[in-house]
Structure 1
């Protein structure tokens, strides 16, 4: 910190200089001035935190100095030292924010206390100023997010059929929307960016959004032709509202696309709606833009603007993942990566003959794939101890594009292959840990006891000889496989019999028997009582 002593008498300045332990208070520099005019020059140059001034001085008095400081050095603290016990001097000291008014001769303790008070006051003022600055910075950083979320809410409200009222917060924030005659909506999906850009910003998606929105705003805001915002209802989407002169909307999007390509070295694609009212037809326009982007042909390159056309023959292809699902499941279970790649290649050979693949088509395949994979996870791992791999339904689907911006089928095939090979390796590893096929069969029975389970089914599923299974299973568990199935079912039946509202027929079907009489015979053989007797006995015990 810096201090300035202002007095036309040199010995007074030296006395003040000696009476204060400046270093203890945190002052590194103490300046001196003979009058108010010199003090003004020093204050402008050094910006001290404390000024100790006399009142009666030539050129510019202490009152004039403090009055000047009130306008030009607001944060600087003031202490007055005067030889006059004058009310007007005291009044002006208070008026201009003086910390204290001390009389000459100077008392060391009074001066010490005044300086201490001034330092504490300055630190508090500085702390408040820094907090205010930090708050302003935080507000400025949050403002774009706030505006984006307001406009995202406008979209969701429009989807719910709620028209914005004049008093709504987004109408106060964006009053220009009220006077718009017509508007076209454009959608930019970050998944249309090429892989190197997605990889570069993988750890900082917010920075990528910031860069893209800045480019959009650089074109739209100066011309007052629209606004771009991050759609918080969708994780990878930017929405652009382009108002008035609807015929020029594609030109503005081309300018933005060229700007993005120059800045990020990546091409982008937009879906563009027809013209409509921003307030009453916003949801319709947004849906059109999303459809135009989602149904574009990913096998074509060069077209950056996809305008909605209701007469276009949009359709999903007839090739389904389900047709190849069983072959792929068996390949995964085999644990052979080459076999997995081979059966996937058969599916992709059929895909390669298609002349139109849309984003909707890809998402359908991705959803089918993940549903199947989730089922395989349950089938392969249920009953194993330890952690189980998680299905991939929640993984975002990223469109694999080649250098020209077209869908790369080899890269897409590799995405599926990597996921399946990972699952297969986990299955093989789990089998290795288990190391006992009979235990694996027992776990399968415990998980599927409600189904029809035969030795033939078990043999086909686990690729083991039936005679081998019969011999090894009985050796491992001291009972036959069928007896093991029946015992599991009877144990489950005992629990269900505690419910008096369930009929015997229902219980038999719930544990895998289609014949109630056969269920009763099996139950009696294993428990030496009928299911009815077991229920009555349990109810009597509970009644006691």
Structure 2
């Protein structure tokens, strides 16, 4: 803080300066003026926090100085020192916010009390100003969030077929929307940005939203025909609401895409709806925009704008599940080469497709995620300690190459990396002395209807045939042949419960081409023929058993 002493008598100014320890009270500088006019100049130049002034001075009195300060330096605290015990002087001191009125000769304790009170008052005022400033900043920060949440709420409300009435909250906040008749929605998914770009903003994703929204609204707001907002119903979306100018929508979106590209060096793509009535058709417009964005052909990159097409092709029929078993076995083998080979076979099939969409990619990734969870659960049952598996990597992010285009090799490498990591964790947690015999047993249980030789198993699991035979019997107490026969007979008993299936059909269904051979094996295991077993089941059913 800084203090200014104003008096036309130098010895009085010196006495005020020396009577108290100004630094101890928080004042780092004490300056002087010999009249009101000089005081005005110093107040304007040095901005003191406290003025200690005489009443009677040449050029400008203390009362005139305080009156001027009330208009031009209202926050500055005032203490009056006077040789006159005059009520009018005291009244003016109070009128202009003086802290105290002290009589000459100056009493040290009274001066100390007055200056201490002035310092405390100024600090309290500053504290209040800082709190008010902080609240103001907080409000300014929350205003965009509040705005975006209102618009997101409006987007959700119309999904229930409810059109908000005029005068509702969103119209009070956005009066420009009151006269809208038609609207279009454009959707932008941040998950379509390059992965390294998302990692860059991972500590502060709000900064990425702030940058993107600023670019969008710099183009939309001056026109008065649109606004962009963060969709709080979906954590990675920006929605652009454009009204009453459908012919200009594409031009605005191209400018916005160029602005994003120049500012952030990324390619932005938008799904755009057809014009719909506002507000009743807002949700339908949003659904159309998302559909256009998610069903765009990622193998084509001709335009950043993808308009909704009612007859757009739906998601393809290829399923990740077709390759699941082979990939799972590769993971359990622990060999990186096998993992690469199995994922590569899936990639070869995908690369032959003429159309790949974000919708299809998400579908594949969801299938993979469910399958991976199942593998982990199966392994957990075999493991002696709870495995610490790698955390999920969040939502599916579009795999892009260095040019910002969809890249199947990038997706394959992402998948291979996760699978190798999973295989390494499984290998590190494998019980001492463990073997892949459980995996072989699982494989036999899943493929019991096929003719599987010991050589087939040896080739698939990369193990010596003699080792498999010996180790399998040690772990399960029966040979692979006996194990397979038992599994087949268990399946056959289930099928025999259906009177509509012939014995020959059941034999084929459980892996036997010859009905008579099947019957011999069944009788050997169950001590009765398939027909006798079926009669036994029927009799038990009649007796309520």
* TM-score after normalising by structure 2: 0.80
Distance apart, 1:248 and its partner CA? 0.5
Structure 1 residues 327 and 444: alpha-carbon distance in aligned structure 2, compared to 1, 3 A threshold: closer
Structure 1 segments unaligned to the other structure (5+ residues): 475-480, 482-517, 519-544
> Contact 2:162–2:280 (CA<8 Å) still a contact in 1?
no
Give 1:304's aligned residue.
Answer: 304
Structure 1 residues 59 and 166: alpha-carbon distance in aligned structure 2, compared to 1, 3 A threshold: farther
> Contact 2:189–2:237 (CA<8 Å) still a contact in 1?
yes
Give 2:395's aligned residue.
Answer: 396
Distance apart, 1:161 and its partner CA? 3.1
Range 12-21 or range 348-357, more displaced: 12-21
> Contact 2:83–2:104 (CA<8 Å) still a contact in 1?
yes
Give 2:354's aligned residue.
Answer: 355
Distance 2:242 2:434 in 1: 66
The reply on whether 1:434 has 2:432 as its aligned counterpart is yes
Give 1:507's aligned residue.
Answer: none
Distance 1:260 1:240 in 2: 14
Distance 1:166 1:46 in 2: 55
Give 2:225's aligned residue.
Answer: 225
Distance 1:437 1:338 in 2: 20
How do residues 422-501 of structure 1 correspond to structure 2 at under 5 angstroms? 422-431=421-430, 433-437=431-435, 465=468, 468-471=471-474
Distance 1:3 1:419 in 2: 68
Distance apart, 1:386 and its partner CA? 2.7
Give 1:169's aligned residue.
Answer: 169
Aligned partner of residue 296 in structure 1, secondary structure:
coil
Give 1:246's aligned residue.
Answer: 246
Give 1:76's aligned residue.
Answer: 76
Distance 1:202 1:22 in 2: 50
Distance 2:23 2:198 in 1: 55
Distance 1:444 1:54 in 2: 102
> Contact 1:4–1:32 (CA<8 Å) still a contact in 2?
yes
Structure 1 residues 58 and 352: alpha-carbon distance in aligned structure 2, compared to 1, 3 A threshold: same
Give 1:178's aligned residue.
Answer: 178
Aligned partner of residue 259 in structure 1, secondary structure:
helix
How do residues 267-346 of structure 1 correspond to structure 2 at under 5 angstroms? 267-312=267-312, 314-346=313-345
Give 1:36's aligned residue.
Answer: 36
Distance 2:392 2:15 in 1: 80
Distance 2:420 2:181 in 1: 55
Distance 1:434 1:79 in 2: 86
Distance 1:444 1:2 in 2: 86
Give 2:386's aligned residue.
Answer: 387
Distance 1:229 1:472 in 2: 62
Distance 2:440 2:84 in 1: 102
Give 1:141's aligned residue.
Answer: 141
Give 2:197's aligned residue.
Answer: 197
Distance 1:393 1:403 in 2: 25
Deviations for 1:458-516, whole angstroms, at most 9, x for unmatched residues? x9799764554444667xxxxxx9xxxxxxxxxxxxxxxxxxxxxxxxxxxxxxxxxxx
How do residues 110-125 of structure 1 correspond to structure 2 at under 5 angstroms? 110-125=110-125
Aligned partner of residue 22 in structure 1, secondary structure:
coil
Distance 2:68 2:318 in 1: 83
Structure 1 residues 7 and 423: alpha-carbon distance in aligned structure 2, compared to 1, 3 A threshold: same
Structure 1 residues 123 and 184: alpha-carbon distance in aligned structure 2, compared to 1, 3 A threshold: same
Structure 1 residues 386 and 69: alpha-carbon distance in aligned structure 2, compared to 1, 3 A threshold: farther
Distance apart, 1:304 and its partner CA? 0.6
Distance apart, 1:195 and its partner CA? 4.1
How do residues 259-270 of structure 1 correspond to structure 2 at under 5 angstroms? 259-270=259-270
> Contact 1:389–1:423 (CA<8 Å) still a contact in 2?
no
Give 2:416's aligned residue.
Answer: 417
Structure 1 residues 389 and 278: alpha-carbon distance in aligned structure 2, compared to 1, 3 A threshold: farther
Distance 2:45 2:403 in 1: 60
Distance 1:128 1:392 in 2: 46
Deviations for 1:389-436, whole angstroms, at most 9, x for unmatched residues? 4487673101111244331011111111112111111222222x4334
> Contact 1:348–1:413 (CA<8 Å) still a contact in 2?
yes
Aligned residues: 470
* TM-score after normalising by structure 1: 0.80
The reply on whether 1:155 has 2:182 as its aligned counterpart is no
> Contact 2:182–2:275 (CA<8 Å) still a contact in 1?
yes
Runs of 4+ with >3 A deviation: 165-169, 389-394, 459-474
Distance 2:16 2:45 in 1: 22
Deviations for 1:146-170, whole angstroms, at most 9, x for unmatched residues? 2222211221222233333445433
Range 396-405 or range 346-355, more displaced: 396-405
Aligned partner of residue 434 in structure 1, secondary structure:
coil
Structure 1 residues 207 and 42: alpha-carbon distance in aligned structure 2, compared to 1, 3 A threshold: same
> Contact 2:320–2:368 (CA<8 Å) still a contact in 1?
yes
Structure 1 residues 27 and 149: alpha-carbon distance in aligned structure 2, compared to 1, 3 A threshold: same
Distance 1:332 1:273 in 2: 43
Aligned partner of residue 8 in structure 1, secondary structure:
coil
> Contact 1:301–1:404 (CA<8 Å) still a contact in 2?
no
Distance apart, 1:134 and its partner CA? 1.6
Give 1:215's aligned residue.
Answer: 215
Structure 2 segments unaligned to the other structure (5+ residues): 478-482, 484-525, 527-545
Aligned partner of residue 150 in structure 1, secondary structure:
helix
> Contact 1:371–1:393 (CA<8 Å) still a contact in 2?
no
Give 1:104's aligned residue.
Answer: 104
> Contact 2:323–2:346 (CA<8 Å) still a contact in 1?
yes
Aligned partner of residue 254 in structure 1, secondary structure:
helix
Distance apart, 1:200 and its partner CA? 3.0
Distance 1:185 1:471 in 2: 66
Distance 2:391 2:113 in 1: 69
How well do the aligned residues superpose, as a CA RMSD in angstroms? 3.1
> Contact 2:272–2:307 (CA<8 Å) still a contact in 1?
yes
